[in-house]
Structure 1
Amino acid sequence: MKIHREGFATISLVFLVLLVINGAVFYWFDSPALTWSLLAISVVFFLFIVSFFRLPTRKNTEGDNLVVSPCDGKVVVIEEVYEPEYFKDKRLQVSVFMSPANVHVNRNPISGAVKLSQYHPGKYLVAWHPKSSTENERHSVVIGNGKTDILIRQIAGALARRIVNYLKPGMQVSQNEEMGFIKFGSRVDLYLPLGTEVTVQLEQVVKGGQTVIAKI
């Protein structure tokens, strides 16, 4: 297992802060119980931070007619909605919620050309709130492969305060390549053409780069 590059600065900062705090407690307080308790809590917290930025090695699923999950998490929405940003018509929305325990790298669900890559500042409603798709901080990407265009929207949640996206309009991208990263819990929405065959169910746990969300 590797550590994602987005985590290097955060992990280093957390390590230094915990080192200073534990050193100060050890120096100023003559209490072995307090010292060891704080050390144990610090180790658990540090390991949690490290695990959040983990980048496991996986055998990805590929296919020109497949829409692969862009992230790890749980399917929380499958419904027909109006998409106002790019398509401006009805689409089939499939949303995956990522808890802080999930791997948080985001991947391209299909190969193709990037037609849109747009950041939107916004609120920090909980990621499962119905209005989070349009009111939260978010980043929208549209990828087209000649057969269809798919909008992928990264959404920040109550804890996630930074969305990273690597794509720019005009880029040619491959399925399962890294699209971006969302720090500390959030969700990703997919907007598919009406009539698309969805292959997942509500509450289903999915894995980025492996689980097939739909068939084109």
Structure 2
Amino acid sequence: MTHREIVAREGWPFVAFTISLTVALYLTVSYIGLAVGLVLTIFCVYFFRNPERSIAGQKGDIVSPADGRVMDVKTVVEENYVHAKTIRVRIFLSIFNVHINRSPIEGRVEWVNRVSGIYLPAYKDEVSDRNARNYLGIVTDWGKILVVQITGLIARRLVCWVQPGDTLKIGERFGLIRFGSCTEIYLPEDAIILVQPGQKLKGGETVIARFCE
């Protein structure tokens, strides 16, 4: 399944509900209700938008797994999948960002693991260990890379469309997070990082790091 719908199918129930609500509000509250309902419907369509992207990068490039803003870039020991010192790039997604997640590089999915947790605001440092999250471990020609989908205060739903054994192309869609969240990527130490805190990213388009041949 390619998941190329203009509006992600996980958003269809929300859009259908807001359309029904719009009709009900129009019939009961007239034009004010119609306006409120239309705003809610437009927001749902906007939030679940699933735009095509011109996938950037060449062999050895790593693209952003999500739209959003770089919160930090740190060297950390990743203990869940890579089990080694890595460079972590943390990306914050506001409710106005596209919430589709994309594969940062070509590779094979080796590990998927969903972990329950709480729902702290996604910009807090401790969300990596405390919030509900989904791990996606990818084996590449340059070693293991880990992408983590993390819920936030509003985001309560993680969607991952792939499973171990699947192969991913660079920039290929693999899931989404509903309503504001955080995405992390853990890269091998020899990756050359090309982004910095505060920088805005586009999933599948912005090259965030590079491996040397």
Q: Structure 1 length as normaliser, TM-score? A: 0.91
Q: Any idea what the Cα deviations from partners look like across 1:4-55, whole Å, max 9, x if unmatched?
A: 2221122112222332233233xxxxxxxxx333322221221111101112
Q: What is the root-mean-square deviation of aligned Cα atoms in Å? A: 1.5
Percent identical residues:
36
CA distance in 2, matches of 1:195, 1:85: 19
- Which of 130, 136, 142 is residue 135 of structure 1 equivalent to? 130
CA distance in 2, matches of 1:45, 1:21: 12
Q: Which moved more, 1:60-69 or 1:93-102?
A: 60-69
Partner of 1:156: 151
Q: Structure 2 length as normaliser, TM-score? A: 0.92
Question: Which segments of 5 or more consecutive residues in structure 2 lack a partner in the other structure?
Answer: none
- Which of 43, 53, 70 is residue 65 of structure 2 equivalent to? 70
Partner of 1:12: 16
Task: Please tell me the residue identity of whatever aligns with 2:26.
Answer: N
Partner of 1:202: 197
Partner of 2:46: 51
- 4+ long deviations beyond 3 Å: none
Deviation of the 1:108 alpha carbon: 0.4
- Which of 2, 7, 14 is residue 3 of structure 1 equivalent to? 7
- Which of 83, 95, 117 is residue 90 of structure 2 equivalent to? 95
> What aligned pairs does 1:23-38 form with structure 2 within 5 A after superposition?
23-25=27-29, 35-38=30-33
CA distance in 2, matches of 1:172, 1:204: 29
Partner of 1:110: 105
What's the secondary structure of 2:34's corresponding residue?
helix
CA distance in 1, matches of 2:22, 2:86: 47
> What number of residue pairs does the alignment pair up?
207
What's the secondary structure of 2:55's corresponding residue?
coil
- Which of 177, 181, 190 is residue 186 of structure 1 equivalent to? 181
Q: Which moved more, 1:68-77 or 1:193-202?
A: 193-202
CA distance in 1, matches of 2:18, 2:78: 39
Task: Please tell me the residue identity of whatever aligns with 1:211.
Answer: T
Deviation of the 1:169 alpha carbon: 0.9
Question: Which segments of 5 or more consecutive residues in structure 1 lack a partner in the other structure?
Answer: 26-34
Q: Is 2:162 the counterpart of 1:167?
A: yes
Task: Please tell me the residue identity of whatever aligns with 1:8.
Answer: W
CA distance in 2, matches of 1:23, 1:81: 56
Deviation of the 1:62 alpha carbon: 3.4
Task: Please tell me the residue identity of whatever aligns with 1:176.
Answer: G
Deviation of the 1:85 alpha carbon: 1.2
Q: Which moved more, 1:47-56 or 1:10-19?
A: 10-19
CA distance in 1, matches of 2:118, 2:23: 33
Q: Any idea what the Cα deviations from partners look like across 1:166-211, whole Å, max 9, x if unmatched?
A: 1111112111111101011101100011232100111000001100
